[in-house]
Structure 1
Amino acid sequence: MDIQGGELNLAELFSDDNNFPKIKEELRALNHYRVEVGVMVPVGNNSLAFLQMIATVNEFGAEIYPKNGPYLVIPMKDGSFYKLKHVKIPERSFLRDGIDLGMFRINELVERDLSRIMNSELTAYELYEDVGQLIQQRIKDEIKLKVTPHNAPITIENKGKDDPLVDTGALHKSIGCKVIEI
């Protein structure tokens, strides 16, 4: 489409060789995809189910009680053990905060990508890829940046640091995204 001297070239706009059919098709295609972001990649010796359990416990918090006796036995780095009647893991929402605290950037990206679709520069699938990658990065950033609530003293002693969501880096590496046709 050519705008010259502030005037719209209507002949070109309504010609049979414009991009409106393709643009219309891509806009309709937006209803045929969804993006999933979360713990999706097994890392090292950690199964996907294990990493998803770790993510769930940290996202929502948990209280853990012994099943086979009166105490939980916590192995320490030096080979010794602590006996505890229960463990309370506080909520450290990194999945929800990754999205909620990044909503402005996500909305900006969608607006930009919709404009690119209107200019025939991007497909609906690519818009969803962009959104998924941005959310994936936001969640990974939250894992690194979240410092409260702090680790328990026993955890700090075991890990050697007070970094609540980072130990080996497996949780961070497990975050993935995929676009699904629906």
Structure 2
Amino acid sequence: MAKLKVTSTPTKLGKELLSQAKQGNKVSFRVGVFGSDDSTQVKKAASHEFGAEIKVTKKMRGYFMAKFGVPLKVGSIIKIPARKWLTLAFERNRDYFNQLIKVNMKKVAEGRMTVEESNNIIAITLAEVTKEELGQDMNNPPIKYRKGTPLVDTGDMRRSIGTKIVSRKGVSKTHGYGDD
């Protein structure tokens, strides 16, 4: 019976990826609309992604009457159904994002790109793809007193989408924000 001895030598790529993993260089990305919790765009983004219930105030009642001719009772509840825009964009492009990360990891390991450059490319791409997907093929429930698609009508929501990089260094400034 012959004995066979097998040895393996890690490649340069393998050594670099192992080194990065041992250093604890974990990175995550936050995509969405950033600002204070009471900012108009943050409220709009959250209302569309998760749905909302709004209690009608006297001021709102006057606005709806003047703008749409709709009499609303003060204290009544307006229910806004969820219209997934962020989740939908990510789900539709999951394979693309995974491939982008894989290609960038290889470039980093080969020394053709820095980790920071890779993170910036990924962050900007996440924001851009989300902006492109906004309002496409959404199953919006009919809303009786409004025309158009509020997510895309003015462009304000699209311009508000950005990405933040979260690493051991902290949270970055917003990437991909504004008219890109």
Structure 1 length as normaliser, TM-score? 0.68
Match of 1:55 in 2: 45
1:139 aligns with 2:130: yes
Of the three residues 56, 61, 75, the one matched with 2:64 is 75
State the shift of 1:142 in Å.
2.6
After the TM superposition, which residues 34-113 of structure 1 pair with which residues of structure 2 at under 5 Å, given as runs?
34-40=28-34, 49-68=39-58, 72-75=61-64, 79=67, 81-84=69-72, 85-113=76-104
Pairwise CA distance, 1:180: 3.7
On the 8 A contact 1:150/1:163 being kept in 2, the answer is no
Answer 1 or 2: higher relative contact order, Cα 8 Å, separation at least 6: 1
State the AA in 1 paired with 2:89.
Answer: G
Rounded Cα–Cα distance in structure 2 between residues aligned with 1:48 and 1:34 = 25
State how far apart, in whole Å, the 1-side matches of 2:128 and 2:70 are: 37
Deviations 1:117-175 (A, max 9, x none): 1211112222222222222122212313144214513111xxxxx32421211000001
Aligned CA distance change for structure 1 residues 132 and 19 (closer, same or farther; 3 Å)? closer
Cα deviation 1:59-112 (Å, max 9, x = unaligned): 01112232459x844437x75642234322111111111212211111111111
Residue in structure 1 matched with residue 178 of structure 2 by the alignment: none
RMSD over aligned CA atoms reads: 3.4
Which consecutive residues of structure 1, in runs of 5 or more, have no partner in the other structure?
Answer: 1-9, 157-161
Q: Distance in 1 between matches of 2:138 and 2:41?
A: 20
- Cα offset for 1:21? 7.9
Asked whether the equivalents of residues 72 and 83 of structure 1 are also in contact (C-alpha less than 8 Å), the reply is yes
Residue 163 of structure 2: aligned partner: 177
The whole-number CA distance in structure 1 between the counterparts of 2:129 and 2:138 is 15
Query: Scaled by the length of structure 2, what TM-score is found?
Result: 0.68
Percent identical residues: 22
For structure 2, the residue ranges without an aligned partner over 5 or more in a row are: 1-8, 169-180
Aligned length in residues: 157
What SS does the aligned partner of 1:136 have? helix
The counterpart of 1:33, out of the listed 11, 24, 27, is 27
Aligned equivalents of 1:108 and 1:30: distance in 2? 22
Give the match for residue 6 of structure 1: none
Question: What CA distance in whole angstroms lies between the structure 2 residues aligned with 1:147 and 1:20?
Answer: 42
